[in-house]
Structure 1
């Protein structure tokens, strides 16, 4: 359990450091990650819809 807390604290410290040293870079990375996540989500649901449509 302590290892999980340590990892969470390390990630928070890293993101905080990144936010103060390069906020524009962090914003760009977050925007790209969000767009990539949305793209993967739409591909997943499109594939599921096609799969279910072929079964029916």
Structure 2
């Protein structure tokens, strides 16, 4: 990945964190919940698949 893109992304998140900390925290909480639910679904599907064998 281009280093310039990484720098722009980090600056964007840094700016967002300092200008709207509550919004950033809310978005991070929602993203964490989404990832957690996706992980639960994935492992549940793997367990169901193994049990079906």
Structure 1 and Structure 2 fold alike (TM over 0.5) = yes
Unaligned stretches of 5+ residues in structure 2: none
Q: 1:16: how far off? A: 0.7
Q: 1:4: how far off? A: 1.6
Structure 1 runs (4+) deviating above 2 angstroms are none
Aligned length: 53
- TM-score normalised to the size of structure 2? 0.95
Counterparts of 2:7 and 2:51, CA distance in 1: 45
Pick the aligned partner of 1:18 from 3, 16, 40.
Answer: 16
Pick the aligned partner of 1:28 from 26, 32, 51.
Answer: 26
Alignment of 1:45-56 (within 5 A): 45-55=43-53
Equivalent in the alignment of 1:37: 35
Counterparts of 1:28 and 1:44, CA distance in 2: 24
Root mean square deviation of aligned Cα:
0.9
Unaligned stretches of 5+ residues in structure 1: none
